Chain A
Amino acid sequence: MAQVTPTDGRPATSKEVGRRARVAPRVASLPPSGIREFFDLVQTMDDVISLGVGEPDFRTPWHVCDEIIDSLERGRTAYTSNQGIIELRTAISGYLQRLYGVEYDPNSEVLVTNGVSEGIDIAMRATLCPGDSVLVPEPCFVSYSACAWLAGGEAIPVPTRIENGFRLRREDLEAAVRPNTRSLMLGYPSNPTGAVMTRAEMGEVAQFVLDHDLLVYSDEIYDRLVYDGHQHVCFATLPGMRERTILLNGFSKAFAMTGLRVGYTCAPADLTEAMCRIHQYAAMCCSTSSQIGAAEALAHGEGEVQRMVADYDQRRRLLVGALKDMGLDCFEPQGAFYTFPSIRSTGLTSREFASRLLEEERVAVVPGTAFGPCGEGHVRACYATSRENLRLAVDRIRRFIDRLH
């Protein structure tokens, strides 16, 4: 991207000042987010029923807000320690111990971050060297490859497919791994597919990790949102994995706290210390109010989590059932709050399907390609919206598909 100062007498625009490119090539070469593009399109329209969100439709549990309000009244608005308030780190450690039996020392192995988003970023920056590659199973959350790239590394996509229930198989990993591969990104339960992995399947992945001497970033932000009796497998509990895993989790999804921006990393002390070194300079600490809210969520939020999960489960069945009735090949999601139906039978590409559905019926779903090229032929529809909205959306999608045939 060559930039020159104009010589034709026009006033210089800000992009043209100076003789060198102002934006770093690594940033300039990041492809635009497919989600962002679609969001801009949706923004131009009224009356859209959106199944395009990636966040809970529940309000943050009020006891959490109440605790935050109280803390503000007491003036608790100063910086916290870089790692986060010790009450929260201790609560996180206890919570993971209760849920999965995994032990992390709150003093040296837990770091509170500005959402899992920051966790992904600092985990990769702390561990990747220029030229390293990261295996990234796709379709997946949009940040993984971008963060790997910004950290100086490179993502190697590992496609997963509907035929295999979007599960990650060892043979797919073996086909993708390279000599420069440093680490593996895991994101189960999966956004956008809703796929989960069993302990046996994760065991295969763990063996692969050992054989290739890799590190693992395990984004388990949807760990509590699992259905049909599925038990979430915390990757660090697999033999040999705790030492190699940076566990990433947060409060956005299970506790309906997206805008409060609290997440955490759990990892062996050396990795935690490395991540904290970046975090202390780039972020200082997570919002004090939000940390207080998060500690309250862990202390008293379990009932609300279960109530929300039960509700998502019912809506999941409604949406999956309706999509199947329309003749769409819809994989049965067992986690998160997304469905990822195949729209191949319509003959449209993901983008065409999503844009036409939006224009003709005012329903927003996200093209599968926003989550990686192998998302082609799918769209992501989120069921974290009211039953009334789901019912309306389903009627409109049905009408749209009937018209195509």
Chain B
Amino acid sequence: MADRANLKVDIARILEADCRLSPDEIGRMLAVPADVVAREIAEMEASGAIVRYSARINWDKLDGPERVFAFIGVQATPEREVGFDGIARRLVHFPEVHSLYLISGAQDFDVVLQGSSMRDIAHFVARRLAVIPGVRSTATQFVLQTYKRDGDVLMDAEKPDRLSVTP
């Protein structure tokens, strides 16, 4: 029997690994009735704990339009009252901003940008990012190759062989 106090965490872990599993299957895996699982999921959706359901794509395997990623280290001057949040608020809604982190160290923000070309990204940095009041400097690093993302290894490592029948 799953520990009820951690039921949401257990369900979230399972969904994070495979969001196509049904409440029925998850219920089986955790020895909990399916309707209980469905209710917990609904609650997590309502509270925003579950943000959305999506698939992990290895874009290198698809002949789609090119996607370019870059990490931009940003140094900024915090504002009175809001600190760094004001700058963050200016940035988060751009579709080009894939992720945005406030970080410790020499830089203040790490902005992950996603664009269709290097020019696209250079353009965004120059026209949108560097000009935000309070932004003192930017350092752009383009991604050349993705080996692992969000826990998934994207290198073509061969699958280890296993015998099909063993004692």
Q: Does B85 contact A (CB under 8 A)?
A: no
In the complex, what distance in Å separates the CA atom of A141 from the CA atom of B166? 11
Q: Does A81 contact B (CB under 8 A)?
A: no
Q: How far is the CB of A186 from chain B (nearest CB, A)?
A: 17
Interface pair A314/B165, CB less than 8 Å apart: no
Interface pair B166/A35, CB less than 8 Å apart: yes
In the complex, what distance in Å separates the CA atom of A48 from the CA atom of B30? 28
Tell which of B18, B21, B163 touches A39, judged by Cβ atoms closer than 8 Å: B163
Interface pair B162/A318, CB less than 8 Å apart: no
Q: Does A50 contact B (CB under 8 A)?
A: yes
B166 contacts across to A, CB distance below 8 A: 35, 39, 52-55
Interface pair B18/A53, CB less than 8 Å apart: no
A35 contacts across to B, CB distance below 8 A: 165-167
A48 contacts across to B, CB distance below 8 A: 164
A55-B162, A57-B162 known; A314+B14 contact, CB < 8 A: yes
A52-B166, A387-B18 known; A59+B160 contact, CB < 8 A: yes
What does the 1/0 interface line of A311-349 toward B look like (CB < 8 Å)? 000110110010000000000000000000000000000
Tell which of A53, A143, A318, A366 touches B29, judged by Cβ atoms closer than 8 Å: A318
Chain B residues 24 to 40 lying within 8 A of chain A, measured CB to CB, are 25, 28-31
What does the 1/0 interface line of A46-68 toward B look like (CB < 8 Å)? 00101011110101000000000
B14 contacts across to A, CB distance below 8 A: 314
Q: How far is the CB of A219 from chain B (nearest CB, A)?
A: 12
A54 contacts across to B, CB distance below 8 A: 166-167
A228 contacts across to B, CB distance below 8 A: 1
Tell which of B18, B25, B31, B167 touches A143, judged by Cβ atoms closer than 8 Å: B167
B25 contacts across to A, CB distance below 8 A: 318
B1 contacts across to A, CB distance below 8 A: 228
Q: Of all chain B residues, which has the CB nearest A228?
A: B1
Q: Of all chain B residues, which has the CB nearest A388?
A: B18
A141 contacts across to B, CB distance below 8 A: 167
A321 contacts across to B, CB distance below 8 A: 28
In the complex, what distance in Å separates the CA atom of A150 from the CA atom of B29? 43
Q: Does A364 contact B (CB under 8 A)?
A: yes
Q: How far is the CB of A365 from chain B (nearest CB, A)?
A: 9
Tell which of A38, A57, A191 touches B165, judged by Cβ atoms closer than 8 Å: A38
Q: Does A278 contact B (CB under 8 A)?
A: no
Q: How far is the CB of A386 from chain B (nearest CB, A)?
A: 10
Q: Does A33 contact B (CB under 8 A)?
A: yes
Q: Is the interface of B mostly helix, strand, loop or mixed?
A: loop
Tell which of B18, B21, B160, B164 touches A42, judged by Cβ atoms closer than 8 Å: B164
Tell which of A142, A315, A318, A364 touches B164, judged by Cβ atoms closer than 8 Å: A364
Interface pair B163/A53, CB less than 8 Å apart: yes
What does the 1/0 interface line of A170-211 toward B look like (CB < 8 Å)? 000000000000000000000100000000000000000000
In the complex, what distance in Å separates the CA atom of A43 from the CA atom of B166? 12
In the complex, what distance in Å separates the CA atom of A43 from the CA atom of B163? 9
Interface pair A52/B164, CB less than 8 Å apart: yes
Q: How far is the CB of A354 from chain B (nearest CB, A)?
A: 10
Interface pair A42/B165, CB less than 8 Å apart: yes
Interface pair B30/A314, CB less than 8 Å apart: yes
A53-B162, A59-B160 known; A142+B167 contact, CB < 8 A: yes
In the complex, what distance in Å separates the CA atom of A228 from the CA atom of B21? 22
Interface pair B165/A53, CB less than 8 Å apart: yes
Interface pair A366/B162, CB less than 8 Å apart: no
A52 contacts across to B, CB distance below 8 A: 164-166
A314-B14, A387-B18 known; A39+B28 contact, CB < 8 A: no
Q: How far is the CB of B6 from chain A (nearest CB, A)?
A: 11
Interface pair B164/A53, CB less than 8 Å apart: yes
New A-B pairs, 9, CB < 8 Å, besides A55-B166, A314-B30: A35-B165, A39-B163, A39-B165, A53-B165, A59-B160, A143-B167, A191-B167, A317-B28, A366-B165
Report 20 cross-chain contacts, Cβ distance below 8 Å, ordered by A residue: A33-B167, A35-B165, A35-B166, A39-B163, A39-B164, A39-B166, A48-B164, A50-B164, A52-B165, A53-B163, A54-B167, A143-B167, A191-B167, A314-B29, A315-B29, A317-B29, A364-B164, A364-B165, A366-B165, A370-B167
B interface residues with partner A (beta carbon < 8 Å): 1, 14, 18, 21, 25, 28-31, 160, 162-167
A interface residues with partner B (beta carbon < 8 Å): 33, 35, 38-39, 42-43, 48, 50, 52-55, 57, 59, 141-143, 191, 228, 314-315, 317-318, 321, 364, 366, 370, 387
- Nearest 6 A/B pairs, CB to CB: A314-B29, A52-B165, A39-B165, A50-B164, A54-B166, A321-B28
